[in-house]
Amino acid sequence: MASRTVRRSAVLGPLALALLTGPVHAAEGRADAGASSAVLPAPDPAALGGRLRTALAQGAPGAMARIDDHRLSPDDHATVYKATEGIADRGTKEPVNTDDRFRIGSVTKTFSAVVLLQLAAEGRVRLDDPVGHYLPGLLPDARITVRHLLSHSSGLYDYTSDLFARTVPGFEAVRTRVFTYRELLGLSLRRPLTQAPGAGYAYSNTNYVVAGLLIEKLTGHPVRTEYENRIIKPLRLGDTFYVHPGMKIPGRHTRGYLTPDEARAPLVDATEQTVSWAQSAGALISSTRDLNTFLSALLGGRLLPAARLAEMRRWIPAGTGQAYGLGLRRRDLSCGVSVYGHTGAVQGYYTYAFTSEDGRRSLTALANASNNGRVHLTMLSTLEPAFCGKQAKAQGAAVLPYPAGEDDFAQ
């Protein structure tokens, strides 16, 4: 078993580094700045490490978590907590490291939503316009708006349900394949809408495929360029990449292992893939530090004007104790604290990236496993010791499941 580490240190954190670049987008005021900062319990690093060890016992080769807490220092030196368990590579037995890069799945959706909300702030798109105003004839229902895409309320069928009906064969069929956005949309449009547009929350990767098409139409640039120019470079996210259609993760990284549907079947190394089946819905690569920086900047009001951040946080119900805005999840924890961010599942990786209401405490956790419901729920429970500390309820009571259909595939 690889050596375990649970560490705490005080360093000049990524929040401070982001401030050195100046504001990414002129803010009209910090959304909910300072809310609940006095009452957020201290993290419980020992309990956090215990959750990671449980994930290993349930089948994950490795697991890691990083907390960046800027609440304790007036000069913005972060208190950083790091916890690691297990291995990054089953061949070399190299231990996981919180500096490793990994595939972040649907945390990509938050990046895509930020880009579109910045474009809305610039007057280049209106959230309540029909998508057909910008992409005529693309969708089967003229009532579907940009807001419906970003809030998963369009009713567009999630094509990944068909692609990955059989987990490993489905993955191997697309591992090296390169799709266009319109090809992915075509897979969705073989099926009727699942509901009337705006009827409620119904998670679908198709929404963010169309969002990618819209970004490219509005800007004339690939989504990679917009991620880099609007988010990655201004925030100095040195571990964050959009390499599609490339298959490799650049630099030091944790390998990802897919669990087959068949009991006791060997894990499948899914590290190298195009992720072309997801693209703007789930193809970014990042690290624990970069995701904490990103979410701190977002909820801290430095990526969007206050009015647009408020739009992002217009919630619709998305299951017990959770809600969805525009590319942003809210989860309500056992101690009464709510946290904001996204989760991501892509073959081989489960990612959990959340921050406090004011953006001053952020957690990113990763297991290099997927298609393993027990690991998924255990890793989701890392939010409890990170944000509720010793006030967290027992693990079993604290974890709220996802709505049906969301426990895998770029969730």
CB 66 within 8 A of CB 84: no
Integer Rg of the chain from CA: 20
Give the containing element (helix H, strand E) for 120. Answer: helix 107-121
Q: How far apart are CA 375 and CA 359, in angstroms?
A: 27
- And the tokens for 307? 């009015």
- What is the dihedral sign for C-alpha 13, 398, 375, 346? negative
Q: How far apart are CA 262 and CA 406, in angstroms?
A: 20
Q: How far apart are CA 363 and CA 295, in angstroms?
A: 9
Q: Where do we find the tokens 């809600």?
A: 323
Nearest to 80 by CA among 88, 70, 90: 70
Please report the beta strands in 263-360, taking only residues with DSSP state E, as ranges in sequence order: 268-269, 285-286, 316-317, 322-324, 329-332, 338-346, 349-355
CB 285 within 8 A of CB 241: yes
- And the tokens for 148? 């419906």
Active site residue 106: yes
Question: Of 3, 9, 106, 154, which is the active-site residue?
Answer: 106
User: Residues near 15 by Cβ (< 8 Å), separated by ≥ 6?
Assistant: 68, 70, 76, 78, 293, 296, 297, 300, 359, 360
Report DSSP state, residue 202.
Answer: -
Give the containing element (helix H, strand E) for 65. Answer: strand 62-69
Residues 224, 367, 316, 338, Cα dihedral to 10°: -110
Strands 257-258 and 369-370: parallel
CB 29 within 8 A of CB 308: no
Which residues are known to be catalytic? 106
